[in-house]
Amino acid sequence: MDDYLLHELGRSLYSLERNGAGLEELLTFHRGSSTDIPGRAVCCSKPPVNLTVLDLLVQTEGLLSFWASEVLACGDGVVGPVPDGIAATAAWLQRYLDVADGMPWGEMMAEEVIAQARMVASVVEPDSESEEPAPPEWATCQVAASWAKQAGVQVSRTTVYRWAQAGKAATTKGDDGGMLVRLDDVLARAGAMRGAVSFGVGQVLV
């Protein structure tokens, strides 16, 4: 992993540590109190779950837990157990960036965590002045699936892999020899799944 990617991985883990609690707070819709609308009674029932945020939270927790288990299994001197929760797991992973840096899967981990951190930040900090990240031309199956989900289509990493194997998405090899897929092809197929014409790279994803 080059120094820039390692730096971005560290920044992204810090971003997830900072935004983890905020994502959990967004898990439920906020209902107005009786003071918001005169004459309206306070609703005492449990507020409904925001399923979009729940999906993102579960996906983020799963991604961090997976890479934390890889670090724990492969790194000498790594102290477990891995803590629960996005913020705690992200903080734990920051302590072992050197382990990820020395592993053949380190670059894939960095790409997936960076993409996930950007999506979480776009939800937790929608008014942030930072520029929206431009979709990459090539990405791992997991990162491509994350971009498709951001576009509004539930696509799994396995589905993207099948598209690549069937020749429905162009592929190339990354610096580590791993397979990368053309993101434009994946988003176009994802768009077809929901009746859209195309989600070209560089276009605004809605």
CA angle 11/76/5 to nearest 5° reads 25
DSSP letter string over 23-79? HHHTTB-----TTTSTTPPPP-SPPPB-HHHHHHHHHHHHHHHHHHHHHHHH-TT--
For the cut 50, the answer to whether the pLDDT of residue 42 exceeds it is no
Q: Which residue has the higher pLDDT, 73 or 130?
A: 73
pLDDT(23) > 50:
yes
**Res. 51 pLDDT band, cuts 50 70 90:** low
Using pLDDT thresholds of 50, 70 and 90, give the confidence band for residue 45. very low
Q: What mean pLDDT, rounded, does the chain reach?
A: 76
Q: Where in the chain is the domain with CATH 1.10.10?
A: 134-206
- pLDDT computed for residue 11 by the predictor: 86
| Per-residue confidence (pLDDT) for residue 52, from 0 to 100 | 77
For the cut 70, the answer to whether the pLDDT of residue 194 exceeds it is no
Cα of 97 vs its chain's centroid, Å: 18
The class (CATH top level) of 134-206 is mainly alpha
Question: Tell me, what DSSP letter sits at residue 97?
Answer: H
For tokens 């289509």, name the residue: 153
Q: Tens digits of per-residue pLDDT, 68-124? A: 999 988 867 888 788 888 999 998 998 888 888 888 888 899 999 998 898 888 888
